[in-house]
Amino acid sequence: MSNVESLKKSSWLSGRKGPVLLVIMDGVGFGKYADGDAVAAAYKPNLDWLMANCPHTQLKAHGVAVGLPSDADMGNSEVGHNAMGAGRVFDQGAKLVSNSIANGKMFEDTGWQEISANILQNHSTLHFIGLFSDGNVHSHIDHLKAMMEHAAAQGISRIRVHILLDGRDVGETSALDYVVPFEEFLQGLQAKGCDARIASGGGRMFITMDRYNADWSMVERGWKTHVLGEGRLFPSAQNAIETLRSETHAIDQDLGAFVIAGEDGKPVGTINDGDSVVYFNFRGDRAIEISQAFEGGPEFGRFDRVRVPKVCYAGMMQYDGDLKLPKRFLVSPPAIDRTSGEYLCATGLKTFACSETQKYGHVTYFYNGNKSGYIDEKLEKYVEVPSDIVPFEQRPWMKGAEITDALVAAIKSGEYDHLRCNFPNGDMVGHTGVFQAVKIGVEAVDLCIGRLKAAIDEVGGVMVITADHGNADDMLEHGKDGKPKLGSNGKPKVKTSHSLNPVPCIIYDPGYAGEYELVLREGLGISSIPATIMNLLGYEAPADYDLSVLVKK
């Protein structure tokens, strides 16, 4: 734990009899358009009552407000929970990587030097694996191109790219918008003497990008595809995408795996001894498991890797600082210190954190500044509810009831000063693009909030409701005229990515006695949540924390 002092008692807000509960409704923002706003369309009497009767404001949850390069960048759950846990804004992965490439530092540092030296000494292949889009949530295709151009200029003559199709942070069927121009880019490298090709791929929700140990079979399929070259063969990535799409009608994120074959009918890019591998996602949650597969020794038992090539492996960033995973990385992650959790522990306050598997790491690892494990096991309890392994649109209520069961029991136990939770529905179901399912997901969260409100009433506590970013509030692509864009079938184009919309901050405080203004501060970001929580607990926030939404009377 960082060297933090205990919090000072507030001179104007003494706290309440019961605990302060933070409810994070993942992916629930304020939509700009009526068409496609599943939050507005949902039947949500509890949220509607809270908005009508409680102090509330809107918070920024994207762009520079969460440490991303510009306000054109969507927020995401990782940076959102970093901000909500740290109480300040730190430059995040996308910005750090872009800056490191622009100033050349990436290519001067040890990680890249070792990757490239290994290739040049062994006359071997440089492989890139990662999310193939410009969504800028997990990766950016411009980072990939910059590294490939630099590698070719260094004299690296053989490059293979293993593409994970997005359709989640970008348009749901936009894969060819990236593949076709990328093939032209590869031709440019080939003209300069670098044999650069796409070697394999598949949808991000089908191969490789699992997280939180939810479904290791995804990583196993990715391993077989990228490393072993096992799977259905196609002459090109474009042919693979067009064929699989016509056969299955799946959106990009769910497309099956494919392997590209050369004229000899054999895979063009298996990963072998002596090669170098760069996993070019900068975001950590969906990068950890594939990194463990590459770096794990004989003790690795998640699946049979069949063949484990001796490679020089690097992540774009170090995805877990506590586990030192991966050992080699190209850009240092943000050094997030003095998180709100550390301050609460230093003050002797007891905390309870809970979510289901899909977002458990967000209310623990990311909330605690990208650090695994407890800050102080004597003062904290973390509960993970195992997620169902089914498509989210088939069970949009997810594990909301079970999360709420755990929270209600913890609230009524009287053991905890602060509790936090994440309901993933608005985000995880939102990414499916199935409007009816997303609407049900929001309604399920509303039911849970009703139960939590009753528990808070019973013990005399406070409930703060917010979100990490928008998603369910913007389920259709809109033109500049504000009207939904139409696809080739004449129907509105579905949007599966996050929105740029603000998110709520609602204070339900049944014990309110006039200590703060009922009209909360405006124009703040979600990094204001920690100071708000500390105030409601009866403490002053650290001087350099972003402002609380509460205004002293």
Catalytically annotated residues: 77
Helices (H), 476-528: none
DSSP helix/strand/coil, 439: helix
Going by the DSSP 8-state scheme, the letter that residue 240 receives in this structure is H
Q: Looking only at Cα atoms, what is the longest distance across the chain? A: 78
- Of 64, 81, 91, 423, nearest to 285 by C-alpha is 81
Q: What is the bridge-based pairing of β-strands 56-59 and 126-131?
A: unpaired
Which two three-digit tokens encode residue 501? 């919309």
Q: Which helix (H) or strand (E) holds 436?
A: helix 435-459
- Between vectors from CA 464 to CA 458 and to CA 467, what angle results, nearest 5°? 135
Buried b (16+ CB within 10 A) or exposed e, 301-320: ebeebeebbebbbbbbbbbb
| DSSP for 168-228, written as a single string | SSS-TT-HHHHHHHHHHHHHHHHHTT-EEEEEEEEETTTSS---TTS-HHHHHHHHIIIII
Residues 6+ apart with CB under 8 A from 126: 115, 116, 119, 151, 156, 158, 159, 160, 275, 276, 278
Residue for token digits 């492989």?
Answer: 127
Q: Beta partners for 539? A: 9
Q: Which helix (H) or strand (E) holds 381?
A: strand 380-385
| DSSP for 278-296, written as a single string | EE----STTTHHHHHHHH-
Q: What is the bridge-based pairing of β-strands 462-466 and 503-508?
A: antiparallel
Helices (H), 233-389: 237-248, 288-295, 340-346, 357-361
Q: What is the bridge-based pairing of β-strands 312-317 and 329-331?
A: parallel
User: Is the previous residue joined to 326 through a cis bond, with omega within 30 degrees of 0?
Assistant: yes
372 burial level (CB within 10 Å; 0-12, 13-18, 19+)? middle
- Between vectors from CA 164 to CA 158 and to CA 169, what angle results, nearest 5°? 135
Which two three-digit tokens encode residue 246? 């016509």
Could you tell me if 251 and 173 are in contact, meaning their C-beta atoms sit under 8 angstroms apart? yes
Measured CA to CA, the distance from residue 124 to residue 126 in angstroms comes to: 7
109 burial level (CB within 10 Å; 0-12, 13-18, 19+)? middle
Buried b (16+ CB within 10 A) or exposed e, 256-292: bbbbbbeeeeebbbbbbeebbbbbbbbbbbbbbbbbb
